[in-house]
Structure 1
Amino acid sequence: MKKILLLLANGFEAVEASVFTDVLGWNKWEGDGSTEVVTVGLHAQLQCTWNFKVTPEKLLHEIALEDFDALAIPGGFEEAGFYTDAFSEEFQMVVRHFDKQQKPIATICVASLILAHSGILQNRLATTYHHPTSKRLAQLESYGVTIVDERIVQIGHIITSSNPGTGFDVAFRLLEILTSTANTQKVQDLMGFH
């Protein structure tokens, strides 16, 4: 069984987290059965961007990072306090661990800023939320990241993306890395993605 750590910061976007739980959950029950998602946070209760409340299965201090095969991180909103947890030393330690082990790291939207803040994206290609009204690309670039103007950027074991609309694509890419192309296509078909 491949275990995926779904790392949730206060202020995360629920839809960006749910694509991982759904795609990898569908795989557990309808695909090859090899994936299990564990939701983890710093607090016993987390508040999503739009005031939806979530109880993570585990607190970060209760788990052993070595037990996990991949890391998935949804983005969130600054106005909802997302960057307080996202830029915490606890989150940075998790990111550095998975990068050092070369285990898959999948992020959606501004979650790539967590990786950049940890230092692992310096001199690497990546993307983040980019819209004419946003300054997030400039923020990402300030960490020494080489910006790529694509919806999704996958370099080695790291996946970054440009907006919430990429969520399912990122989750399916992670599933393909963890299983196979044929299995991913099967799950996509069962979920109605053609």
Structure 2
Amino acid sequence: MKKVCLLLPNGFEAVEASVFTDVLGWNKEEGDGSTELVTVGTREKLRCTFGFTVLPDLLLSEVKADDFDALALPGGFETAGFYEDAYREDVLELIRAFDAQGKVIASICVGALVLGKSGVLQGRLATTYNLNDRHRQKQLAEMGVNVLPDRPIVIDKNIITSYNPSTAFEVAFTLLEFLTSKENADQVRRLMGFLE
């Protein structure tokens, strides 16, 4: 069984987290059955960007990278306190530990800024939110990242980044492909209506 840590800082964007729960859940029920997702929060009770509350399975203080095969990280909004939580040292240290072990890390939208802040993207290829004068992409570049501004999804070795919420499902399917196979991921895509 491949275990995925869905890391949820306060202020995360719900749709960007839900794609991981759905794609990996569909795989568990209808695909090859080999994935399990665990929600890991920075707090006991998390408030999403647009207001509803989520109770994670575990707290960040209760986990380590050794317990998982991959890390998934949604983005969030500054006004909802996302960066305040996501830039905490314990969050950054967990990301560094996943990367040091060569485990897959999948982020959506500004989740890449958290990876950049941790240092794991230093000198590597990535992308992040691409609209509003590319402000977030400029921030990522200032962290020493080689930003590919017009690529919806960028994969550099074990790290997947993407440029806005529209890419969310494809990032989750790409993570599933990394963990299982292209054939299995395509089967789940078909069952969910993304392929004919």
What TM-score, normalized to structure 1?
0.98
Query: Which whole-Å deviations, capped at 9, do the CAs of 1:134-184 have from their partners, x for residues lacking one?
Result: 410110011011110200000110000000010000000000000001101
Partner in structure 2 of residue 51 of structure 1: 51
1:1-194 alignment runs, 5 A limit: 1-149=1-149, 150-194=151-195
For normalisation by structure 2, the TM-score amounts to 0.97
Which sections of structure 2, spanning at least 5 residues, go unmatched?
none
SS class of match (2:11) = coil
CA distance in 1: counterparts of 2:73 and 2:81, whole angstroms? 15
Distance across 2 between alignment mates of 1:105 and 1:42: 18
RMSD across aligned positions (CA):
0.8
CA drift of 1:42 comes to 1.6
Runs of 4+ in 1 over 2 A off after TM superposition: none
Shift of 1:62: 1.6
CA distance in 2 between counterparts of 1:73 and 1:172 reads 14
SS at match of 1:193: coil
Check the 8 A contact 2:160/2:171 in 1, yes or no.
yes
Letter of the 1:161 counterpart:
S
Q: How far 1:87 moved relative to its partner?
A: 0.4
Q: Percent of aligned positions with the same letter in both sequences?
A: 59
**SS of equivalent to 2:110:** helix
Structure 1: gaps of 5 or more residues? none
Whole-angstrom CA distance in 1 between matches of 2:147 and 2:110:
13
SS of the residue corresponding to residue 160 of structure 2 reads: strand
The offset of 1:25, in angstroms, is 0.4
